[in-house]
Amino acid sequence: MEVKKEIQKTQVFNIIILDRSGSMECIRQAAVEGFNETLAGIKKAQEKFADTQDHFVSLVTFCSCETKHLYDKTPVAEAKPLNIEDFQPCCTTPLYDAMGMTLTGMHKHVQGMKDALVVVTIITDGMENASREYNGKTIKELVERLRGKGWTFTYMGANQDSVEVAMSMSIRNARNFDYSNEGTRASMQKDSSTRMNLFGRLAKWKTAEMKGCCAAPASESERRNLYANMADDAFDEEENK
C-alpha cells in the first residue's frame, strides 16, 4: 500500500536583479521581453508544480539614480508583464549596492522558513562603478554566506569576462551574453530554461518525499545542500546542451 506523507510546499523566491544603467538603452526592448519570458516561465512552473511549490517574484532594477523594486516578493500570479515604459535606462552601475540591499532584505524575509529556496539572477552589461554602501569584499562575503544557506546565484554579463567577475563574488554559475537584442534574449531564455529544469527536479524530489519513496533530509542544512546541488546540476545540464 502506497503511503503518502503530508507535504510542505517549498516557498520559491525568484529574484531578478536587472541593470538599468544608460548603456542598457541599446538592449532595452530585449531586456523587457526577456524578463517577460522569464515571468511566463515562472507562472508555468507555478501551474505545473502547484502541489509542491509556491512561487514569488522580485524584480529589482538599478542605476545610480534609484534602486527600484518593480516586484517585491510578489505571488507570481499577481505579477504582470513589463511595458517598455517600466524600464528606462540612465546613469551608472551601482551593482554591489543593488545586490547588497536586495539580498539582505530577502534574507530577513526568509529567515525562519522551514522550506524556502531563493533563486537569484543578476543581469548587467557592464562593470560595477558607482556603489557607496557595499564593495567587492562585502558582496563576496554575503554571497558565500547565502550560498551556505542553499541560495543559488547566476551571473549574466555582457562586455566583460562574466566567469571571472562572477568568481570574484563567489558565484559559481555565470554566462556571457552578446551585447545585442538577440544575445540578450538568448541568454534570458537560457536562464528561464535553467529555472524550469531546477523546479522540475525539486518537484520530482518533493513528490517522492510525499510518497515515502525517499527519506527527507535529516536536517535543515542537508535540505539546503540538496537544493543547492539541484540548482548547480540544472545549470550544468543547460550549459552542456
pLDDT per 10-residue tile (average), the chain, 241 residues: 64 97 95 95 97 97 95 98 96 96 98 94 93 97 96 95 96 95 94 97 90 72 91 96 86
All three cell numbers of 117: 529556496
b/e map 90-127, b = 16+ CB within 10 Å? eebbbbbbbbbbbbeebeebbeeeebbbbbbbbbbbbe
Q: Which residue has the cell 567587492?
A: 136
Please answer whether residues 98 and 17 qualify as being in contact, where contact means their C-beta atoms are separated by less than 8 angstroms. Answer: yes
The CATH number of 10-239 is 3.40.50.410
Q: What is the pLDDT of residue 210?
A: 77
Residue 240, burial from CB neighbour count under 10 angstroms (0-12, 13-18, 19+): exposed
Q: What is the pLDDT of residue 208?
A: 87
Write the pLDDT tens digit of every residue in 146-187: 999 999 999 999 999 999 999 999 999 999 999 999 999 999
Q: What is the pLDDT of residue 146?
A: 97
Q: What is the pLDDT of residue 5?
A: 56
Angle in degrees, CA 120, 66, 83, rounded to 5: 70
Name the 3-class secondary structure at 220: helix
Please answer whether residues 173 and 153 qualify as being in contact, where contact means their C-beta atoms are separated by less than 8 angstroms. Answer: yes
- The residue ranges of every structural domain in the chain are 10-239
Q: Note the pTM of the prediction, 2 decimals.
A: 0.94
* Helices and strands counted in the chain (H then E): 6, 6
| Of the candidates 171, 138, 140, 150, the residue with the CA atom closest to the CA atom of residue 231 | 150
What is the helix (H) or strand (E) element at residue 69, kind and residue range? strand 67-75
